Structure 1
Amino acid sequence: MKKSVFVLLALFTITLLQVQAQQQTMPPLVNVNGIGEVRVQPDQVILTMGVDVREKTLEQARKQADSKASAIIAYLKKQGISEKDIQTSYMSIYPIYTSGEYGRTTPDFYTAQKTMTVLVRKLTKFDDLMSGLYGAGVNRVEGVSFQVSDMEKYRNQARKLAVNNAKQKATLLTTELGAKVGRVYAINESTSGGRPMPYAEAAMMKMQDSAGSEGPTIAAGEVVITSNVSVSFIIEN
């Protein structure tokens, strides 16, 4: 027991001495935060849509949903959408009871749902594609989000801007104090961006009113990529 206490005390002492030594040898630092932001027009669309059907029997509902889904996939492929860019993301079949009769075991009908996610790699195709999807059997649009194909390229641009911003801040602070910025002592970075932009309601309206519409019906706006860096520079006299 005494030996264990002695070992723990020795370890604690060594750790304390290491922390003190590190604090004593740490150079004078200037700590700054830098922000870099890049705004890019998206060139791709992720569309989430599907079909809902109601039939008297479970088998009828399943077959009807499968048939409509197959027609939608066939249409997408005909429009040049690659099979790898089409994914069935959700499906369900469940009974619906409209009567509140106690102990009832036979449903009034069955509802079948299938949801698909499609990557449209050419933004200019979106309007025509939506018009055709409505005719192919889509009756539910859950969301539309815009993205940039070469995201890593713009993330790197945002990082460079953030680092330059941090260095400018450090230079300004040290110059005002009659010192200068030395080498980097530590750096941390986080990057965010490419957030989805919901557009479900407008997309559904486009499908329903496609026959009488002219011109583009979506405004993709911009995708914002932001990088934040925390940098510690050594201060030199």
Structure 2
Amino acid sequence: MQNVLTFTKTLILLTVFTAPLYTAQSYAHTEASKDAVKEKESQANERSLGTISVQGVGAIDVTPNAYSVTFIVEEQGTTVSKLSGQLENDLTSIVSFLLEEGIEERYIQSMQVRLSPRYNNTPQGREQDGFTLSREIAITSTDLENYDRVLDGVLKRGVDRIQQFNFVNMGEASVYQKALVTAVADAKNRAQLLAKELGVEVGEVVAISESGGNMPIPVMRADTFSKEMSLSLPGQESVNARVNVTFNINQ
């Protein structure tokens, strides 16, 4: 019985003195870890000498592979319902012709309709003289070789005005993304060149922003569509992208 009591007392003493020792060791380990993190942060701050900001530019040359054009169809008269019927007949004839020319239906859009009163100045004053009903048709086509035939055809079928003619690139979004990647690479190269001349190293990226880009499109006005003028096909255009990047500077 006495042996049992002695063993129990020994076990209690070990428990009492061991537990605080374990807690102290854990606390010391945690504090050491915190100190190590602080030391690394301090070293990183010491290595960083500030920042360097550059602008990267990317440019991809492309040749427009399509054209877009907007037509205006107008009818004038005194009865709106009659004007609407005449306009609908014109649109049906124009759209049928465009489909025959191979322009896909999804690239033919019937746009805004406008109805406005017409006025005449008389000795008695300004008097209304009927209405003007107009509608826009916008198309896009990749058949660059035959766009002149399309324009002649719609003018014969009731189109009154050609509002705008643009040469475009159907893959503009993907081309711009490539230009953006090129701009990022250019920003890296510029930063490394400057850092090398200063005897420092480029660190991590602190900030990056896209500053926009552009894809210039040649626009041809309606007054260029005279029979005396020859419409030439478009040449290459440049799709541009720009990025602003800020890097840390390290020793």
2:146 to 125, 129, 137: 125
Aligned pair partner of 1:139 in 148, 151, 160: 160
Say if 1:34 and 1:55 are closer, same or farther in 2 by CA, change over 3 A.
Answer: same
Kept in 1, the 8 Å contact 2:97–2:154? The answer is: yes
The match for 1:226 is 240
- Aligned amino acid, residue 109 of structure 2: Q
Q: Does 2:250 match 1:236?
A: yes
Instruction: Name the SS of the counterpart of 2:162 in structure 1.
Output: strand
Deviation, structure 1 residue 64? 1.5
- Residues 1-237 of structure 1: pairs in structure 2 closer than 5 A: 27=48, 28-100=50-122, 101-102=124-125, 107-202=128-223, 204-205=225-226, 209=227, 217-237=231-251
Give how far 1:76 is off. Answer: 0.7
Q: Which amino acid aligns with 2:98?
A: L
Contact 2:119 2:126 (8 Å CA) reproduced = no
- Residue 126 of structure 1 deviates from its aligned partner by 1.3
Residue ranges of structure 1 left out of the alignment (5+ in a row):
1-23
- The CA distance in 2 between the partners of 1:203 and 1:54, in whole Å, is 26
Deviation at 1:79, TM superposition (A): 1.0
Query: What is the count of residue pairs matched by the alignment?
Result: 206
Q: CA deviation at 1:219?
A: 3.6
Cα displacement string for residues 72-115 of structure 1 (whole angstroms, at most 9, x for unaligned residues): 111111111122111111112233221443585xx433222111
For residues 99-154 of structure 1, the C-alpha deviation after alignment (integer angstroms, 9 at most, x for no partner) is 443585xx433222111111113322312211211122212111012221112321
Q: State which drifts further: 24-33 or 147-156.
A: 24-33
Q: In the alignment, which residue of structure 2 is the partner of 1:21?
A: none
| DSSP 3-state at the match of 2:173 | helix
Matched residue type, 2:77: E
| Residues in 2 aligned to 1:109 and 1:187: alpha-carbon distance in whole angstroms | 59
TM-score, length-scaled by structure 1: 0.76
* 1:71 Cα deviation from its structure 2 partner: 0.8
State the distance in 2 between where 1:195 and 1:117 align: 20
Calculate the TM-score normalised by the size of structure 2. Answer: 0.72
**Superposition RMSD on alpha carbons, in Å?**
2.6
Match of 2:31 in 1: none
Query: Does the 8 Å contact 1:147/1:194 carry over to 2?
Result: no
Q: Note the alpha carbon deviations across 1:3-51, whole angstroms, 9 max, x for none.
A: xxxxxxxxxxxxxxxxxxxxx9594321111111223111111111121
Gaps of 5+ in 2: 1-43
